[in-house]
Chains A and B, each alone.
Chain A
Amino acid sequence: MNYTLHFGAVWASFDHLLSGLAIGLALAVAAVAVGTVIGLLSAFASVSRSRLLRGISGTYVLLIRNIPLLVLVLLVYFALPATGIRLDKYESFIGSLALYAGAYLTEVFRAGLLSVPKGIVEAGRAIGLTRLQTNLYVVAPVMLRNSLPSLGNTFIGMFKDSSIAAAIAIPELTFEARKINVDTFRVVETWTVASGLYIAACFTIAALLRMLERRFPKF
């Protein structure tokens, strides 16, 4: 084995990798933002008294969590146009990832909801808040705080999953890395740098999230 590492070719395209990283982060932010709305609705449905709502939420989580994300992405991107819905590749990827994130976030928020002490819900009702007000002003803030660590983990997971966008030619980090790889054949260097960027980003996000968690005391 006499392979000499030569990072020059990769550094020459480093700004492409960085812009790819930014696209990946943006995809993850958008997907988790939409997914949070889906997850919140689905989590409240999963603890509601209506059997129908519980069933819908449960089926959604079961289906999405057990299908490969790549299959979902390809299905939405290539098959949806046949039904008349036309999305560009960014919209379709964010939609797929949001649907995916929503299923994982349902579980996260459900655990958060179950962790809200019963006493403070009763206290809210006792001071005359309606059920909706109690959910909005008492349950939701406590639940969101308790879900913060898992929410952060899901976000990191979705950021890593944004690499799958390379399959539908969205120029995020993995796609750019493949391009450099094909252009220069510096495979060891390309994947080392790409992997390093992902790891650095994940660690930074994790550190920021830990800071955020410390800002808000846990209930």
Chain B
Amino acid sequence: MSFHPNDIQRRGVAATAAILVAMTALGSAFFRAQVLDDAAYRLSSERNRLRQVPLPAARGVIYDRHGEIIAENVPGYSVSILGASADSLRSTLVALTRILPLSEGEVNRAVQRFRKDPNRPTVILSDASYDQVAVLEEHRVEFPSLIIQSAPKRYYPDGPAVAAFTGYTGQIRDTELGTEAFEGYKSGQEIGRSGLERQYEAELRGREGSRFVEVDARGRVVRDGADRDFDAPVSGQVLKTNIDLDLQRFIANYLGDTLAAGVVAIEPKTGAVLALHSSPSFDPNRFIGGIQQEYWDELNADKVRLPLYNKAMQGLYPPASTFKLATAALALQDGLVDFDSRMPRPCTGGYVYGSRSWGCWDKGGHGAVTLSEAIAKSCDVYFYQLGLRMSLSRLLAGGVSLKMGERSGIDLPSEVKPLWPASTAYLDSTFGRGNWSNGETLNLSIGQGKNSQTVLNMARFYTALATDGFAATPEVVARSPERTQILKLTPAQFAGLRAAMGDVVSGRGTAGSAAIDGVQLAGKTGTAQNETSRDHAWFVGMAPQDDPTIVVAVMLWQGEHGYAAARIASKIISHFFKRPAIEPANVVGN
């Protein structure tokens, strides 16, 4: 080899140069990464290491009109897992099945939730029991990616008594995530599912907070990031309702679990909903944190009384004789009758129109009655003739002006729209042109036929009778009372209608047994004919008769006679006024 010092010298210089170049190149690469691009890498590093753990916000507390709590939050526990990858999450979950009863479906759903939002802890149990938490804490070391934290849990102290309007909350579903309607929601969050919880979700939900935990490469929690900014959750807004919780409780207790009924109590001058109940009810507390399948099955097993079906605003029933006040008021408004008017044909227990005889409920007949007496005794024959006098088209238009075909507009979701034919065209389309007769007028004038109302909408209509013709929009949460004029009558005429309704609850009327000591109750019974089962009992009443401060509508499913509903309404109103109800002395029919 060539080993002359000059050659060696030359090669030494070349080697030195090569090494210098290489080391400088390495150094500059590090300079670029560590000094120039430092910030970006720093961010990546933080994102690697820190995981945001959401801190659920407490939902807004719901109060009744006197400041009593309807819905609040109690401490609960949520269990979630920080997954590094779908596979590691799955293996952790499978390992967890040793100590937690997780089904394969639940594991798969959790993995799906993780895939949608890998940086968010995947909620496994949104409402873990103390026992579950105790067991998990015992095995904490085996599952370092587990996050067990306290989470406010929705609680309704009165449970079933308030379910009809509070509704309940539940975890957002995977199918809802990412849709427009649920924009901004993240997996594992609680949302209002029905009732007030859903209606006022935006105010009640509050704002989720967060804390940071430090994780290792496998997503295991190694440290709670106490040194990081702690973003405290913001509780939801307080909701003050018009509900009179004492009255609501009374109604729920009185109806118990055996009767199937819908009840609405409204303050006629404001529309404030004092109570709204559907019986039998369900316990919304058992819906929180995921409803247990057996409870769900149990509720759905009652195919007759349908606990999950809100009879106050989802059920549609023929209003029957409670509608006669609408017929009477419209006739008065049109000047067709006054309170002393009698119809051409006295009631003999039936009325022949067309080719058939239309019966009155009292086969004995009411004789030649005035309008006032016809209301008190609920004489069908009188109202047949009154309807015919008005004509069908006027009756239909009148019903529209009384908003019999519209929702009451209560601030609760899933109110069902009542059924009222806007014009004869509806009858044409239902029965077929020429397949119906003017006899429909007779049906409609006594609240039968193509007329189905919610308890709530009948209560709304009666608020107009209880005042000066202005119907109040029912409102659960006190916001902006709204009243719409639907009737134009003189004060004397309103007084006359209320007096006739007062007679209903007297020895002369159909619900004499519902009178209250010291408070003049006025109202109207109804017995809705039901083709498939026993008749439904209705009563819509108000008190005191002279200047009503409460309107109560009761529909007792298969209650058979209106006075059965009237007695319930009477109990409710007497409780409201703290007056004893008069015990039924003599029972009069519908």
Q: Do A and B come from one complex?
A: no
Q: Which B residues are within 8 Å of any A CB, using their own CB?
A: none
